[in-house]
Amino acid sequence: MTEAVQPDRADPAGVFYGDLAPWWPLISAPDEYAEEAAFAAELLAGAEPPTRTVLELGSGGGNNAHHLQQRFAMTLVDLSEQMLAVSRELNPDCEHVQGDMRTLRLGREFDAVFVHDAIEYMTTEADLRAAVETAYLHCRPGGVAVLVPDDIAENFEPGTEHGGSDAPDGRGVRYLSWSTDPDPTDTTTTTEYAFLLRSPDGGVQVAHDTHVLGLHPRETWLRVLAETGFEARSVAEVTSDDRLPREFFVGRRPSGDGGDRS
């Protein structure tokens, strides 16, 4: 029997990060993040004095944190409580907080702030600026912020991806994603996701979700970081994957900036 699961637009997490959150380990395995997390860790380690504490905004199912916690004390923030539940199972020693990266105010500072591809949900420059402001306010003087969009305007290419895996209990997932840029004059792209979800009894559900993602040029990233107060630079990823390397945007909060506005 096949059933269809449709997006609940009243739920900000949508299908992907809401109803499908328990399936996340079969959609995206932690082992797939090892190389990228290692590269990010070297950039996060660049705080002076050395990095001990890291705040991750948009931490999702915790796959990056699974590797980063080997070097840093991690505090993980995500908008979806369902994804945080998945991360708690994977990373029980990490602190987890539900919150929006645009408005979060914890009232404390960290040696470094990390934002992986969840930053792509900042579809306007105003949203991006709000998220960067959050990173700045939670980054101590001398600390660093590392932001990692999958794409920027200069290197976006439409395409498809597929994947999924099986669990010992008989569950399985297969997915197809299709990314396009319907309007090259704006700052967004669209990714359509289709999922086949097999339960242990062999029943299959079909799920579809649409995600609108931000696409900003390099100049915007560097300018927003600089205008917020960071010393900003772009670093090309070193990867063995057969894909275009990502650009990691790195901001250092000046050591002399002692104002705590968090």
Tens digits of per-residue pLDDT, 148-178? 999 999 999 999 999 999 999 999 999 999 9
The pLDDT assigned to 244 comes to: 84
Q: Are residues 53 and 169 in the same domain?
A: no
My answer on whether 102 and 206 are in the same domain is no
Q: Are residues 39 and 133 in the same domain?
A: yes
Asked if 159 and 146 sit in the same domain, the reply is no
- Average pLDDT of the residues of the chain: 93
What's the chain's length in residues?
262
Sign of torsion, CA 223 39 143 134? positive
pLDDT tens for the chain, 262 residues: list them: 334 444 333 344 468 899 999 999 999 999 999 999 999 999 999 988 999 999 999 999 999 999 999 999 999 999 999 999 999 999 999 999 999 999 999 999 999 999 999 999 999 999 999 999 999 999 999 999 999 999 999 999 999 999 999 999 999 999 999 999 999 999 999 999 999 999 999 999 999 999 999 999 999 999 999 999 999 999 999 988 888 889 999 999 999 876 555 4
Alpha-carbon distance 56 to 3, whole Å?
Answer: 36
pLDDT tens by residue, 212-230: 999 999 999 999 999 999 9
Same domain, yes or no: 110 and 209: no
Does residue 72 lie within any of the structural domains? yes
| Whole-number pLDDT of residue 14 | 64
The tokens describing 18, both together, are: 């809401």
Asked if residue 199 and residue 141 are part of one domain, the reply reads no
Looking only at the bridges linking them, the beta strands covering 110-115 and 2-5 are unpaired
Tell me, what CATH number does 163's domain have? 2.20.130.10
Q: So what's the pLDDT on residue 261?
A: 52
DSSP codes joined into one string, the chain: -EEEE---TTSTTTIIIIITGGGHHHHS-GGGGHHHHHHHHHHHTT-SS---EEEEES-TTSHHHHHHTTTSEEEEEES-HHHHHHHHHH-TTSEEEE--TTT---S--EEEEEE-GGGGG--SHHHHHHHHHHHHHTEEEEEEEEE--S--TTT---EEEEE--B-TTS-EEEEEEEEE-S-TTSSEEEEEEEEEEE-TTS-EEEEEEEEEEE---HHHHHHHHHHHT-EEEEEEPP--SSSPPPEEEEEE--TT------
- Which residue range is the domain that position 237 belongs to? 16-152+216-252
Half-sphere exposure of 210 (CA within 13 A, CB side): 9
pLDDT value at residue 259: 55
Check whether residue 21 and residue 91 sit in a common domain: yes
**Is 194 found in the same domain as 223?**
no
Residue 243 forms part of a structural domain: yes
CATH of the domain at 238: 3.40.50.150
**Distance of alpha carbon 139 from its chain centroid, rounded?**
18
- 172 - beta bridge partners? 166, 198
Domain count, the chain: 2
Whether residue 83 is found in the same domain as residue 191: no
User: What pLDDT was estimated at residue 241?
Assistant: 85
> Do 107 and 51 sit in the same domain of this protein?
yes
Q: 133 in a domain, yes or no? A: yes
